[in-house]
A and B are shown apart, each in its own frame.
Chain A
Amino acid sequence: MKQNYHSGTSRKNKEKIIRSIFFVIALASGLTLGLIVVFLFMEGLPIFSKVSVKDFIFGIYWYPTDDPADFGIFPLIIASLSVTLVSSVISIPLGISSALFLAEIASRRVREIVKPIVELLAALPSVVIGFFGMVVVAPFLQEIFDIPVGLNLFNASLMLAFMSVPTICSISEDAIFSVPKELREASLALGATQWETIWRVIIPASISGISTAVILGMSRAIGETMVVLMVAGGAAMVPRSIFDPVRPLPASIAAEMAEAPFRGDHYYALFATGIVLFLFTMAFNMVADYISNRYRQVGAATL
């Protein structure tokens, strides 16, 4: 009896220790994020003693090394948003339809072969995708669309779409696959065709997972650096057509940071650009989080 009681407390203690270890680990990643954010703001905010927030965000000239310098990141913001938008237009239909195909239409064997291949696409290093865009896609676009530059908004969007399709496909496939079997069977039993079942039942039931997938895919596109540095062209102007070269936020930071004098205005401005980028990705992730909680499918009976 005493023995049992004793071992009970020691097991409880062990449990407590394990719990606190996990708590510390979870805290560590939160703390790291916190420190990085503090650092980002500390290094970025000093620029606003030189230019106002309004001139920084809405200024259309980015000449950080001139004297006097111009720190306007409006063309860079527009560039980031437009490549993200255009790449989503390409990647969302592709990602969701391949997810639907894999989860609903493909036979088990096909699924087992195709899904790892799609996921492998996510494993391609971004510098490889960038190089492909630069050497293969750019001359090809120049040729078929008869445009002056192949390194442009469209090329960058295409390459980014390559990178977000696997994210979108894989996460929405999981969501679609986890739609309860009862819903599918009930729909078919009521005489709905497979297409009607997918459109009216499966998609609404998994919409929260699909939306999360889409937003995570988009946030991958907006934060991606190497691809846009290599294929977007790098012209700091507001694009007037889909074939204009652009300079997204991450590309600008990556290209200039190495040469910016430490703690100079240019350095601060690049960190402030980082703050803007961070706010964008944070907004994307918060929206994803909100949607996945708001429209969560709970059990089979709620539809």
Chain B
Amino acid sequence: MGLKNYTVTALICAIFFSAGLAMAGNIVIKGSTTVLPIAQKVAEAYMKQNPDVKISISGGGSGNGMKAIIDGSTDIATSSRFIQEKEIKLAVEKGGYPVPFAVAYDCIVPVVHPSNKIENLTLDQLKAIYKGEITNWKDVGGTDGKIVVISRDTSSGTYEVWEEKVLNKERVFPGALLQASSGAVIQAISKNKNAIGYDGIGYINETVKPLTINSIKGSKETALDGSFPVSRALYVFTNGWPKGDILNFINFIINPEKGQKYVEEAGFVPLY
């Protein structure tokens, strides 16, 4: 009996002790699902190098991340857009001060089957294709054939950029084929000579042909200098200038030798 009691006490102590340890280096990250793969890869690598730091990551969208940084329920908010004015006001009212760090660029490139002779589409043509207004390749200078429009699921971050930058927040027409992953888009296009789709620059391989938009080629350089129309910066926000573990983690993300390597691995454009 005595032994049993002793064991129980020891167990409870152990739980409290380990919880205390975890608290010491605990970083909570919330926000954009687009930034999620970057955050996950970087956090994994960071935790491997700093085993005493525990990082917990959840998605939920950029808006939820901002809400969490304002009400203090997260240490770092990830976002696929810059903070909005009303969010800054709200944060300042609560005595906070959100600080942005750009961590990567997202560059979405339209792709077609390699046999398609089209090289370039204008932003307006792309918009019309995705709204279902242009339905034949010959209307944009290609060979006669129905355009098979491939899009991503409406919840994906890639879709979000496309909808914002190409469609100006208008809807993709219901006849578009929705693929559930970046890989599936490439797969479907490589098997269909009339297909058009879009994908993050990191996913594009030789089985498909990337198009230029308004004669600008999607690349690391054009994404970084802002000339490529379908690109955006991805941010993390902290409340006030970061300190301690959080500062170390953010330094890790933007370090070209460390975190930025994983940015490229996750299919995004690194900062440098």
A binding-site residues for B, Cβ under 8 Å: 60-66, 75, 134-135, 138-139, 142, 148-151, 229-230, 233-237, 245, 247, 254-256, 258-262, 266
Determine whether B255 belongs to the interface, using a CB cutoff of 8 Å to chain A: no
Where chain A touches its partner, the secondary structure class is loop
Count how many pairs of residues, one from A and one from B, have CB atoms less than 8 Å apart in the complex: 78
Knowing A65-B154, A261-B64, say if A75 contacts B174 (CB, 8 Å).
yes
Q: Which residues on A sit within 8 Å (CB–CB) of B155?
A: 64-65, 256, 258-260, 266
Q: Which residues on A sit within 8 Å (CB–CB) of B88?
A: none
Bound-complex Cα distance A264 to B45 (A): 31
Q: Which residues on A sit within 8 Å (CB–CB) of B159?
A: 65
Determine whether B60 belongs to the interface, using a CB cutoff of 8 Å to chain A: yes
Q: Which residues on B sit within 8 Å (CB–CB) of A138?
A: 191-192
Q: Which residues on B sit within 8 Å (CB–CB) of A259?
A: 33, 59, 153, 155-156
Bound-complex Cα distance A235 to B150 (A): 9
- Minimum Cβ distance to chain B for residue A155 (Å): 12
A259 to chain B: closest residue by CB: B155
Contact B191 A261 (CB under 8 A): no
A60 to chain B: closest residue by CB: B174
Interface hits, B175-225 → A, CB 8 Å: 175-180, 184, 187-188, 191-192, 194-195
Bound-complex Cα distance A65 to B162 (A): 13
Bound-complex Cα distance A98 to B177 (A): 36
Contact B154 A61 (CB under 8 A): no
Bound-complex Cα distance A66 to B170 (A): 9
Q: Which residues on A sit within 8 Å (CB–CB) of B148?
A: 148-149
Contact A235 B178 (CB under 8 A): yes
Contact A151 B180 (CB under 8 A): no
Q: A139-B191, A148-B194, A255-B153 are in contact. List 13 more A-B contacts (CB 8 A).
A: A65-B154, A65-B159, A134-B187, A235-B176, A235-B178, A245-B177, A247-B178, A254-B180, A255-B178, A260-B155, A261-B59, A261-B60, A261-B64
Bound-complex Cα distance A146 to B174 (A): 22
The 5 closest A-B pairs by CB, nearest first: A259-B155, A234-B178, A255-B180, A237-B174, A148-B146
Q: Which residues on A sit within 8 Å (CB–CB) of B153?
A: 234, 255-256, 259
B binding-site residues for A, Cβ under 8 Å: 33, 59-61, 64, 145-146, 148, 153-156, 159-160, 171, 174-180, 184, 187-188, 191-192, 194-195
Contact A235 B175 (CB under 8 A): yes
B155 to chain A: closest residue by CB: A259
A263 to chain B: closest residue by CB: B60
Contact A61 B174 (CB under 8 A): yes
Bound-complex Cα distance A149 to B155 (A): 23
Q: Which residues on A sit within 8 Å (CB–CB) of B188?
A: 134, 151
Q: Which residues on B sit within 8 Å (CB–CB) of A247?
A: 178
Q: Which residues on A sit within 8 Å (CB–CB) of B146?
A: 148
- Minimum Cβ distance to chain B for residue A74 (Å): 11
- Minimum Cβ distance to chain B for residue A130 (Å): 11
B64 to chain A: closest residue by CB: A261
Bound-complex Cα distance A254 to B184 (A): 14
Q: Show 9 residue pairs from A and B whose CB-CB distance is below 8 angstroms, ordered by the A residue.
A: A64-B154, A64-B155, A66-B171, A134-B188, A135-B187, A148-B194, A235-B175, A236-B174, A245-B177
Contact A142 B192 (CB under 8 A): yes
Bound-complex Cα distance A56 to B145 (A): 35
Bound-complex Cα distance A142 to B177 (A): 15
Which of A66, A135, A245, A254 touches B154 (beta carbons < 8 Å)? A66
Knowing A64-B154, A148-B148, A260-B155, say if A135 contacts B174 (CB, 8 Å).
no
Bound-complex Cα distance A75 to B178 (A): 14
Q: Which residues on A sit within 8 Å (CB–CB) of B195?
A: 149
Which of A135, A149, A266 touches B177 (beta carbons < 8 Å)? A149
Q: Which residues on A sit within 8 Å (CB–CB) of B179?
A: 234
Q: Which residues on A sit within 8 Å (CB–CB) of B64?
A: 261
Bound-complex Cα distance A110 to B154 (A): 51
Contact A235 B174 (CB under 8 A): yes
Bound-complex Cα distance A64 to B188 (A): 24
Bound-complex Cα distance A258 to B157 (A): 12
Q: Which residues on B sit within 8 Å (CB–CB) of A256?
A: 153-155
Contact A63 B177 (CB under 8 A): no
Q: Which residues on B sit within 8 Å (CB–CB) of A142?
A: 191-192
Contact A234 B60 (CB under 8 A): no
Bound-complex Cα distance A75 to B175 (A): 11
Contact A234 B154 (CB under 8 A): no
Knowing A65-B155, A148-B146, A149-B148, say if A234 contacts B177 (CB, 8 Å).
yes
Bound-complex Cα distance A150 to B177 (A): 11
Bound-complex Cα distance A64 to B179 (A): 16
Bound-complex Cα distance A261 to B153 (A): 14
Bound-complex Cα distance A149 to B194 (A): 8
Bound-complex Cα distance A280 to B141 (A): 47
Contact A151 B154 (CB under 8 A): no
- Minimum Cβ distance to chain A for residue B177 (Å): 5
